[in-house]
């Protein structure tokens, strides 16, 4: 997961303190999400379906006491989750939809191959901040891995992560520790193919939402976007998001 590694390496170091989860562990657990919480003494675990209060999310420990609480429900979280699930889906219409929704996705042309493609963009949210989006597909002979992250370096308020516990199609948990809120989720299904993590720091309000989707689709079916490198390596995608690239065919063929 090239994009996943880059996003996690750029994340300020909170999660290592109390939270560790991996998608393979989720897939093999056969039940709820697996969480290793470590020695953090103050934690609140919220399973999907619990009545969570966004106003108290992240209130323990080294807190930013002046932070504006999240609205209930939180429209920013819903928008970010929708965009990221689309970004990780591998669907040929993803780029066009995200462009229409104001994310301004551009092709990272210097990383494009028939078996890997990456995009990035950003969108401003009133009262929350400027959110960066990165999404990619990494393909193998029998599977495509879709990945997407939405992040804000310093959010203007708390994000309503607790909303996820009320979404009927998700199962998972929230860990609330001294340094912030971390959560891990799966989209219900047989087999499970989509994994989600959403976290926010207490002190600087750094926010990140990750989605990983495992797509049972061979590499030849990847919707490849041919980058326009006329004026540089990073350009807006062409008018046909499903256009064929070398060694790839349109997913709708």
Question: 158-191, pLDDT tens digit by residue?
Answer: 999 999 999 999 999 999 999 999 999 999 999 9
CA torsion sign for 23, 25, 27, 32 is negative
Instruction: Inform me whether the pLDDT recorded for 8 exceeds 50.
Output: no
Instruction: Inform me whether the pLDDT recorded for 247 exceeds 70.
Output: no
CA torsion sign for 243, 249, 251, 252 is positive
Which of 8-22, 122-136, 168-182, 210-224 comes out lowest in average pLDDT?
8-22
Instruction: Inform me whether the pLDDT recorded for 119 exceeds 50.
Output: yes
Strands 194-201 and 180-187: antiparallel
Supply the pLDDT for residue 49: 52
Whole-number average pLDDT of the chain: 74
Supply the pLDDT for residue 140: 87
Q: Token pair of 205, please? A: 């309000």
Cβ neighbours of residue 27 under 8 Å, at least 6 residues apart?
191, 192, 195
Strands (E), 164-217: 170-177, 180-187, 194-201, 207-215
Distance in angstroms (rounded) separating the CA atoms of residues 224 and 175:
38
Distance in angstroms (rounded) separating the CA atoms of residues 12 and 16:
10
Is 117:225 a contact under the CB 8 Å cutoff? Answer: yes
């Amino acid at each position: 997961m090239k994009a996943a590694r880059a996003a996690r390496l750029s994340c300020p170091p909170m999660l290592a303190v109390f939270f560790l989860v991996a998608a393979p562990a989720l897939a093999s657990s056969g039940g709820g999400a697996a969480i290793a919480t470590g020695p953090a003494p103050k934690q609140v675990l919220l399973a999907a379906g619990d009545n969570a209060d966004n106003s108290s999310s992240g209130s323990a420990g080294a807190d930013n006491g002046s932070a504006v609480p999240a609205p209930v429900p939180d429209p920013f979280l819903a928008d970010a989750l929708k965009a990221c699930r689309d970004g990780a889906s591998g669907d040929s219409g993803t780029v066009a939809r995200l462009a229409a929704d104001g994310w301004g996705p551009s092709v990272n042309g210097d990383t494009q191959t028939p078996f890997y493609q990456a995009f990035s963009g950003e969108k401003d949210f009133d009262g929350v901040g400027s959110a960066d989006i990165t999404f990619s597909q990494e393909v193998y002979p029998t599977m495509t891995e879709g990945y997407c992250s939405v992040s804000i370096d310093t959010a203007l308020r708390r994000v309503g992560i607790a909303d996820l516990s009320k979404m009927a199609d998700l199962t998972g948990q929230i860990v609330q520790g001294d340094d912030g809120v971390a959560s891990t989720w799966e989209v219900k299904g047989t087999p499970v193919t989509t994994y989600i993590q959403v976290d926010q720091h207490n002190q600087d309000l750094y926010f990140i939402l990750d989605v990983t989707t495992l797509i049972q689709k061979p590499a030849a079916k990847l919707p490849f976007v041919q980058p326009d490198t006329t004026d540089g390596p990073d350009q807006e995608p062409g008018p046909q998001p499903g256009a064929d690239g070398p060694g790839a065919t349109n997913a709708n063929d």
